[in-house]
Amino acid sequence: MNDINESWGWVVSQVLNSLGVFETNPGGFSGEWAGSGKAQRVVSPIHGEVLATVVNVTPQEFDGILVKCHQAFASWKLVPAPKRGEVVKEIGDALRRNKAALAELITLEMGKTLREGLGEVQEMIDICDLAVGLSRQLYGLTMPSERRMHRLQEQWHPLGVVGVITAFNFPVAVWSWNTALALVCGDTVLWKPSSRTPLTAIACTKIAEKVLLEFGFDPAICSLAIGKGSDIGDLINTDPRVALVSYTGSVPGGRHVGKLVQERFGRHILELGGNGAVIVSDKADLDIAVPSIYFGAIGTSGQRCTTTRRIIVHESIAEAFKTRLLELYSRTAIGDPRDGKNLMGPLVDAVAVNTMLDAIETVKAQGGKILCGGEKLPAAGACYVTPCIAEVIGNLPIVKEETFAPLLYFMTYKTIEEAIALQNGVPQGLSSAIITNDQRESELFLSAAGSDCGIANVNTGTSGAEIGGAFGGEKETGGGRESGSDAWKAYMRRQTSVINFSGQVELAQGIILEL
């Protein structure tokens, strides 16, 4: 395990200062910064050292924040969409300027490697670019009316306050996927980040605040409320002033949020857990399969919703494939994620480490065999593990659960139909892939008889979605879609209109009105 410890305190303060984050920070924003609730110390998983303190908002402060965010909607929705796009363009440019510092803060706060931190900020910049273009394309349709001299049309209007609740593993990208679209759609945003990653949330909110002020808009358009999910989160779930709740997190959390939001007939986008699988065919190019699966399984230390958690390998190539993958695993550089040599940083906290170790014991108890890894590394105050591969026969009960850690299940198949059934045989439905040079196999995989996931890739792995496509998954993944394609429609309300320019009354469905 590599370690670079030098000048830790100095580096941390440089990064925090450059992003306007202080030793102690109020956790609420809606034009002014506030927070007088419980103070929480934010600990880096790299060394277990305190980075800064955040003071949570109280329920009363939350209400004040929501009032202002809701008021800001009244004027923001009237700003022409292309003008709103100009604001998002400037937010994107500010992110470009702050890319290095923000990436470092992501790495310090949640432990992903710096190269992945940079990738996350790039994703934010990309979604801003997409949203800017979109701000001139929020199009409705016109349909032929069944009545003479009538026009039938639909148009899209701003929706209201979007409550964005985010997970720790993409602490800022998920906010940006939602916020860039919400802003051009004319909505305002109230963000509740993970309590494990509040500093990156403060940094991003400050970036948006500055831009909104420069343009002369109400900065409450991008509001923030840091606090526990069970109090601040539930206030968002239950308040009818929040028109849309976009929730990213675990399946149990999403089940809870979905029920509460549905209860009040609010809208929700649920982006929940995954259980990504890659089918490796006997016609696969192993030079593609091995690195794609390796990155998919160990990237972000196995803490992506799209992480490759299962590989389903044709029995005829299983041994050759296993040998190559194990060789790569054996030389995984693990350590300080700021060091470019390391491919894997720590897990987010000690709970995550214990969850992984417990899952490994369960795998063994259910008949699985550990092929490599799965040990906690001795590093004081930190949460480093070796990535694990477990050989299993089919989807054991533990395999059907999402263990949010670098734990990869290896299984074999005989026929492509059997492989697809294994791929689909879990409750989650987010990301899937097949590695094959056989077109019939890949087309089958992409057909209605194939993968049941929201994402189905060919000859590339399960993780690393591009923002241009709609992102989300089926079954217990929650069914939501964010990011590209027409995902913007979830952030707007559709209005259908009939316009009569005939000068006469003509009823639909040919009904005659005799007066």
- Show which residues are catalytic: 271, 305
Contact set for ligand NAD, span 38-97 (CB under 6 A): none
Q: Are strands 150-158 and 161-165 parallel, antiparallel or unpaired?
A: unpaired
The vertex-157 CA angle with 121 and 192, nearest 5°, equals 40
Taking a C-beta distance cutoff of 8 angstroms, is the pair 458, 446 a contact? yes
402 in contact with ligand NAD (CB under 6 A): yes
Which phi and psi angles does 49 have, rounded to 5°? -100, 150
In the 8-state DSSP scheme, what is residue 487?
Answer: G
401 in contact with ligand NAD (CB under 6 A): no
Contact track, ligand NAD, 476-505, x by CB under 6 A: -x----------------------------
| Nearer to ligand NAD among residue 13 and residue 122 (C-beta) | 122
In angstroms, the CA 73 to CA 85 distance is 16
| Nearer to ligand NAD among residue 156 and residue 404 (C-beta) | 404
Looking up tokens 């809208």 gives 267
Binding residues for ligand NAD, total number by CB under 6 A: 30
237 in contact with ligand NAD (CB under 6 A): yes
Stretch that binds ligand NAD, among 16-24, 207-215, 227-235, 324-332 (CB under 6 A): 227-235
Stretch that binds ligand NAD, among 66-74, 127-135, 145-153, 251-259 (CB under 6 A): 251-259
Stretch that binds ligand NAD, among 35-43, 232-240, 356-364, 436-444 (CB under 6 A): 232-240
Q: Are strands 388-391 and 407-413 parallel, antiparallel or unpaired?
A: parallel
Residues with Cβ within 8 Å of 27's Cβ and at least 6 positions away in sequence, in order, are: 35, 37, 54, 55, 56, 57, 198, 202, 224, 225, 226, 227
User: Which residue has the CB atom at the shortest distance from ligand NAD?
Assistant: 229
| Nearer to ligand NAD among residue 26 and residue 302 (C-beta) | 302
Stretch that binds ligand NAD, among 49-57, 252-260, 366-374, 379-387 (CB under 6 A): 252-260
| Nearer to ligand NAD among residue 81 and residue 261 (C-beta) | 261
226 in contact with ligand NAD (CB under 6 A): no
**Candidate list 273, 337, 406, 479; residue touching ligand NAD; CB under 6 A:** 273
**Candidate list 234, 339, 401, 438; residue touching ligand NAD; CB under 6 A:** 234
Cβ at position 54, least distance to ligand NAD in Å: 13
Classify the C-alpha dihedral 255-256-262-266 as positive or negative. Answer: negative
- What is the residue-wise DSSP string for 67-133? HHHHHHHHHHTTS-HHHHHHHHHHHHHHHHHTHHHHHHHHHHHH---HHHHHHHHHHHHHHHHHHHH
Contact track, ligand NAD, 150-189, x by CB under 6 A: ---------------xxxxxx-------------------
Cβ at position 277, least distance to ligand NAD in Å: 14
**Candidate list 29, 76, 175, 404; residue touching ligand NAD; CB under 6 A:** 404
Q: H-helix or E-strand containing 33?
A: strand 33-34
431 in contact with ligand NAD (CB under 6 A): no
> Of 306, 339, 269, nearest to 460 (Cα)?
306
454 in contact with ligand NAD (CB under 6 A): no
**Chain centroid, CA 136 distance in Å:** 25
253 in contact with ligand NAD (CB under 6 A): yes
Looking up tokens 């026009």 gives 151
250 in contact with ligand NAD (CB under 6 A): yes
How does 155-187 read in b/e, with b if 16+ C-beta sit within 10 Å?
ebebbbbbbbbbbbbbbbbbbbbbbbbbbbbbb
Contact track, ligand NAD, 304-343, x by CB under 6 A: -x--------------------------------------
Contact set for ligand NAD, span 90-149 (CB under 6 A): none
Taking a C-beta distance cutoff of 8 angstroms, is the pair 487, 181 a contact? yes
Stretch that binds ligand NAD, among 84-92, 229-237, 387-395, 444-452 (CB under 6 A): 229-237
Residues with Cβ within 8 Å of 394's Cβ and at least 6 positions away in sequence, in order, are: 411, 422, 425
Q: Count of residues for the chain? A: 515
Looking up tokens 């089958």 gives 444
Stretch that binds ligand NAD, among 121-129, 250-258, 315-323, 364-372 (CB under 6 A): 250-258
**Candidate list 35, 274, 368, 450; residue touching ligand NAD; CB under 6 A:** 274
| Nearer to ligand NAD among residue 416 and residue 465 (C-beta) | 465
**Chain centroid, CA 389 distance in Å:** 25
> 382 is written with which tokens?
């930190």
Cβ at position 403, least distance to ligand NAD in Å: 10
Cβ at position 142, least distance to ligand NAD in Å: 34
Stretch that binds ligand NAD, among 114-122, 228-236, 278-286, 338-346 (CB under 6 A): 228-236
- What is the residue-wise DSSP string for 175-224? HHHHHHHHHHTT-EEEEE--TT-HHHHHHHHHHHHHHHHHTT--GGGEEE
- Site residues, ligand NAD (CB under 6 A): 165-170, 192-195, 229-230, 233-234, 237, 248-250, 253, 256-257, 271-274, 305, 402, 404, 430, 477
